[in-house]
């Protein structure tokens, strides 16, 4: 019985006999014992045992590794290491906290390693081969990404000039940059807009109309590639938090330049989303942002309703991943070939790019990965004025983005333009003029407006984009000083909803009328509810009679889109190919002729009592308007995988947000009672006139979007919708009362982003 405590005492004594670094510090092993008597105590006696005398030996310290390291928030970059070895990082207790195998760069013989997601704190670097540690690297402190300001702000004392160059971030990574000025650098300073993405913004030879438009407006334009793309250093992982800190460093570096006076951010889509991420780090020198055509959360595009978007969601991820390979963008390959040694060296870490396609396919839930890359995660931190614009029918980023408007609690000024339309439409004349006015007020600090020559230039360029002549509306604050215009601007409602964009000039981004709101969704909304009756009718009143219509899902439907030529949909002749589903693969419910005119603006909910003959199924709910001549206009749609039906805590009557959590997944049983499922219809703004009928179609996801495809379940499943009585399936619509719309109906096919088909 005495042997166990004896062994414990012996090992403790042995561990205290050496002044040499511990195993944890050096990765070495040792054989430390003592010839002195060792004592253990039992309950009834003390036993004395003498160990054989030995000579204390210590293995020599590990040699110093000939590697180069740089630390970033929660990561370590390693260069000049031996290919095939492992870089191991241990914390102050000697516990391993990260490991990566050294790989050769695709364009050089440099051996590199990249350790992501390291915990902040003191750490030591080691080099291992297959048998264990062979060399020791530096001891260092891993900084935390939550501390947005760097320890040493002297990094911002670097010169940035016009044309092509590089900006160095806090961890030594250099980002490629292209600067366009409205005049000579000596004639500055200029109000400056910063565009930031993983596309090719810093390509010095790009045919980029933004460079012409922004400088014509009197602004400098600074375009930067995020790390791991183009000629920027580092490894690429879409929307990872360190890119936001890099953006912080770019802004603070620009603030030290003599030619800069005021800094805002600019860009549509990817660079729009990056504005939200960067502004969330609160760079002290950032004055305003204008995110255009953005998202609220990454899963709203990648997994709408819990179903993988293997159209745009997968295609975009694949595109940016391929472009982020070593020399993956043609312009960066050309610079390397022409002798840009910085660009070439900046490709070394690309071999450590994660497989993003695999990641998004294997992580379908709202976990830490998705949350950390979603703009709504840090939107509440943004403390500068915000101008946001987007289309409800955006073929790429979708229409769920207005959900983020509730998150901007810390922004001193918010203005949002919401409308039917497509991805490029923030550059339409109805939105472009207010954007310029916003920048003039909050970045340039000057009287807002566009001069006549620039108006002509902008109208000419926009006409080429949209395929038909367009003109810019007049300035909204003519003759007012900056301070007077700001005072008026800030007294106006935050939200402007543009209705029936395209109706007056078919398929051009110009609204027929607009409505101003103090918030989105409007707190004045009323819920307009229609009840499903039998297998074909919508009623304004619930009914006691029951029905059980059913349809069979069509797995092929997920691959069907509404256009054969994406290149046309931004023009005045979009060429929609919106086809109805086969009758056996859908259920359609249609109202009677409207008793009144209904102006709808907000999200909606389709609430269904459902049974299926399997354990899971994918549903799509589509709202459309039936005109007196029988033609049908698309209003909006939503999707749901039934096993993902659990709602989030903030779900409302009009917005049944699913939780997105793996723990909430619940399959159905073929023999159970009907289950209530609620399908979130994406936001929209639409007028149902008093000679219209409302239609709801329930079918398999697909054939409802230009670029979204759905990885639907492969099994055909019979879905039964229960109506009436105790199973009152219904639709909840967002009604804006006391709003008058023009009497005349927009021509079929004229509304931008909303296909129309003959009955």
Cβ 291 vs Cβ 272: under 8 Å: yes
User: What's the topology of domain 150-286+298-373?
Assistant: Rossmann fold (3.40.50)
Chain Cα centroid distance, residue 741 = 35
Q: HEC string of 609-635?
A: EEEECCCCCEEEEEEEEECCCCCEEEE
Query: What CA–CA distance (Å, rounded) separates 54 from 525?
Result: 86
Q: Give, as one character, the DSSP assignment of residue 139.
A: E
Strands 132-142 and 121-129, by their bridges, are: antiparallel
Per run of 10 residues, the mean pLDDT along the chain (length 759 residues) is 32 32 35 31 39 54 93 93 96 95 89 95 96 95 88 95 97 97 97 98 96 97 98 96 96 98 98 98 98 97 97 96 95 97 96 95 88 94 98 97 97 98 96 98 98 92 91 95 98 98 94 97 96 95 96 97 95 95 96 96 98 98 97 98 97 97 95 95 97 97 97 98 97 96 95 94
- In 3D, which of 361, 302, 304, 308 has the Cα closest to residue 714? 308
Query: What CA–CA distance (Å, rounded) separates 421 from 439?
Result: 23
Cis peptide before 189 (omega within 30 of 0): yes
Half-sphere exposure at residue 747, Cβ-oriented, CA atoms within 13 angstroms: 8
Host H or E run for residue 321: helix 312-323
DSSP-assigned beta bridge partners for residue 254:
none
The predicted pLDDT at position 59 comes to 66
**Tokens 């012996």 sit at which residue?**
10
Q: Give the number of other CB atoms < 10 A from CB of residue 155.
A: 17
- The C-alpha torsion from 590 through 593 and 599 to 600, rounded to 10°, is -10
Host H or E run for residue 437: helix 429-439
In the chain, what are the domain boundaries?
Answer: 3-58, 68-142, 150-286+298-373, 402-523, 526-757
Cβ 142 vs Cβ 121: under 8 Å: yes
Which structure tokens are listed for 155? 């990094």
Query: What CA–CA distance (Å, rounded) separates 418 from 412?
Result: 20
Cβ 467 vs Cβ 572: under 8 Å: yes
The predicted pLDDT at position 31 comes to 31
Host H or E run for residue 69: strand 68-72
52, 756, 757 from 562: Cα distances, Å: 85, 11, 11
Half-sphere exposure at residue 754, Cβ-oriented, CA atoms within 13 angstroms: 34
388, 484, 527 from 736: Cα distances, Å: 22, 32, 9
Angle, vertex CA 688, rays to CA 685 and CA 693, nearest 5: 130
Query: What CA–CA distance (Å, rounded) separates 3 from 237?
Result: 54
Which structure tokens are listed for 582? 């086969």
Which structure tokens are listed for 103? 């790989």
Cβ 512 vs Cβ 524: under 8 Å: no
Which structure tokens are listed for 263? 């800094």
Number of H helices, E strands in the chain: 14, 34
**Tokens 């995020």 sit at which residue?**
226
- Which regions of 434-549 does DSSP assign to beta strands (E)? 495-499, 513-517, 526-533, 537-539
- Which regions of 143-203 does DSSP assign to beta strands (E)? 163-168, 174-180, 190-197
Query: What CA–CA distance (Å, rounded) separates 370 from 308?
Result: 14
If phi over 0 gives left and psi between -120 and 50 gives alpha, with beta otherwise, what is residue 602? left
The predicted pLDDT at position 57 comes to 54
Chain Cα centroid distance, residue 678 = 24
Strands 730-735 and 618-626, by their bridges, are: unpaired
Host H or E run for residue 733: strand 730-735
Cβ 549 vs Cβ 534: under 8 Å: yes
CA dihedral over 678, 682, 683, 686, signed as positive or negative: negative
Which structure tokens are listed for 540? 């304004």
| DSSP three-state, residue 497 | strand
Half-sphere exposure at residue 655, Cβ-oriented, CA atoms within 13 angstroms: 21
CA dihedral over 359, 364, 370, 374, signed as positive or negative: positive
- In 3D, which of 496, 430, 160, 426 has the Cα closest to residue 271? 426
Host H or E run for residue 278: helix 270-279
Which structure tokens are listed for 740? 């008058």
Cβ 458 vs Cβ 472: under 8 Å: yes
The predicted pLDDT at position 238 comes to 96
Which structure tokens are listed for 381? 């931190």
If phi over 0 gives left and psi between -120 and 50 gives alpha, with beta otherwise, what is residue 725? left
Half-sphere exposure at residue 580, Cβ-oriented, CA atoms within 13 angstroms: 17
CA dihedral over 339, 341, 346, 352, signed as positive or negative: positive
**Tokens 């000024």 sit at which residue?**
413
Quote the CATH superfamily of domain 68-142. Immunoglobulins (2.60.40.10)
**What are the phi and psi torsion angles at 618 (to 5°)?**
-110, 130
98, 227, 691, 740, 747 from 744: Cα distances, Å: 66, 52, 11, 12, 9
Q: Give the number of other CB atoms < 10 A from CB of residue 726.
A: 10
Q: Give the number of other CB atoms < 10 A from CB of residue 435.
A: 18
Cis peptide before 521 (omega within 30 of 0): yes
The predicted pLDDT at position 305 comes to 98
CATH (one of 1.10.10.10, 3.40.50.720, 2.70.240.10, 2.60.120.260) for 526-757:
2.60.120.260
Which structure tokens are listed for 272? 């729009």
Query: What CA–CA distance (Å, rounded) separates 526 from 654?
Result: 10
Cβ 690 vs Cβ 627: under 8 Å: no
In order, the DSSP letters of 39-60 are: EEE-SS-EEEE-PPP---EEPP
Which structure tokens are listed for 213? 């438009």
């Amino acid at each position: 019985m005495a042997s166990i405590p004896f062994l414990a005492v012996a090992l403790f004594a042995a561990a205290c006999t050496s002044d040499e670094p511990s195993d944890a510090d050096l990765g070495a092993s040792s054989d430390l014992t003592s010839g002195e008597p060792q004592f253990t105590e039992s309950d009834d006696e003390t036993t004395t045992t003498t160990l054989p005398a030995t000579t204390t030996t210590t293995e020599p310290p590990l040699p110093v590794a000939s590697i180069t390291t740089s630390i970033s928030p929660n990561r370590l970059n390693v260069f000049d290491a031996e290919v095939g070895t492992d870089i191991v990082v241990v914390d102050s207790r000697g516990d391993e906290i990260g490991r990566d195998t050294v790989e050769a760069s695709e364009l050089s013989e440099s051996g590199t390693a990249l350790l992501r997601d390291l915990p902040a704190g003191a750490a030591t670097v080691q080099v291992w081969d297959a048998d264990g540690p062979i060399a020791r690297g530096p001891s260092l402190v891993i900084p935390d990404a939550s501390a947005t300001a760097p320890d040493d702000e002297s990094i911002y004392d670097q010169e940035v000039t016009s044309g092509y160059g590089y900006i160095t971030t806090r961890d030594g990574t250099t980002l490629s940059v292209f600067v366009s000025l409205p005049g000579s650098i000596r004639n500055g300073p200029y109000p400056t807009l910063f565009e930031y993405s993983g596309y090719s913004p810093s390509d010095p030879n790009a045919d980029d109309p933004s460079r012409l438009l922004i400088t014509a407006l009197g602004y400098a334009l600074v375009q930067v590639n995020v790390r791991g793309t183009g000629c920027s250093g580092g490894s690429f992982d879409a929307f990872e938090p360190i890119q936001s800190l890099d953006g912080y460093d770019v802004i603070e570096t620009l603030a030290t330049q003599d030619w800069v006076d005021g800094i805002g951010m600019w860009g549509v889509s990817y660079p729009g989303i990056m504005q939200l991420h960067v502004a969330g780090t609160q760079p002290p020198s950032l004055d305003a942002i204008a995110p255009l055509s953005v998202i609220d959360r990454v899963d709203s595009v990648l997994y709408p309703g819990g179903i993988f978007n293997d159209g745009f969601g997968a295609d975009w991820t694949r595109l940016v991943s391929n472009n982020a390979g070593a020399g993956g963008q043609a312009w960066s390959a050309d610079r390397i070939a022409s002798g840009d040694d910085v660009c070439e060296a900046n490709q070394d870490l690309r071999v450590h790019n994660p497989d993003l396609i695999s990641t998004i396919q294997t992580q379908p839930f709202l976990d830490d990965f998705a949350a950390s890359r979603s703009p709504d995660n840090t939107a509440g931190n943004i403390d500068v004025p915000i101008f946001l614009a987007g289309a409800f029918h955006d073929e790429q980023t979708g229409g769920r983005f207005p959900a983020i408007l509730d998150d901007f609690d810390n922004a001193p000024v918010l203005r949002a333009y919401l409308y039917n339309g497509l991805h490029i439409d923030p550059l339409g004349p109805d939105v472009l003029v207010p954007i310029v006015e916003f920048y003039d007020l909050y970045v340039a600090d000057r009287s807002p407006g566009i001069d006549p020559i620039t108006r002509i230039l902008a109208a000419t360029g926009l006409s080429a984009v949209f395929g038909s002549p367009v003109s810019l509306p007049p300035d909204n604050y003519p003759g007012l000083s900056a301070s007077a215009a700001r005072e008026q601007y800030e007294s106006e409602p935050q939200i402007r909803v543009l209705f029936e964009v395209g109706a007056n000039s078919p398929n051009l981004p110009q609204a027929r009328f607009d409505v101003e709101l103090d918030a989105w969704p409007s707190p004045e909304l009323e819920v307009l509810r229609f009840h499903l009756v039998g297998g074909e009718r919508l009623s304004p009143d619930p009914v006691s009679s029951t029905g059980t219509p059913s349809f069979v899902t069509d797995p092929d439907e997920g691959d069907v889109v509404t256009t054969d030529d994406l290149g046309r949909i931004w023009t005045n002749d979009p060429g929609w190919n919106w086809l109805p589903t086969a009758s056996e693969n859908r259920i359609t419910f249609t109202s009677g002729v409207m008793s009144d005119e209904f102006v709808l603006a907000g999200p909606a909910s389709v609430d269904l009592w459902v049974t299926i003959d399997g354990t899971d199924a994918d549903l799509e709910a589509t709202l459309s308007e039936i005109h007196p001549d029988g033609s049908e206009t698309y209003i909006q749609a939503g999707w749901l995988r039934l096993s993902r039906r659990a709602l989030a805590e903030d779900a409302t009557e009009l917005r049944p947000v699913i939780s997105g959590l793996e723990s909430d997944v619940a399959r159905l049983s073929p023999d159970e009672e009907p289950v209530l499922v609620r399908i979130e219809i994406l936001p929209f703004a639409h007028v149902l006139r008093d000679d219209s009928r409302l239609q709801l179609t329930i079918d398999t996801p697909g054939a409802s979007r230009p670029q979204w495809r759905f990885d639907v379940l492969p099994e055909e499943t019979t879905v039964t919708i229960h109506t009436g009585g105790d199973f009152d399936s219904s639709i909840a619509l967002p009604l804006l009362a006391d709003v008058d719309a023009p009497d005349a109906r927009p021509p079929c096919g004229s509304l931008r982003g909303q296909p129309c088909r003959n009955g």
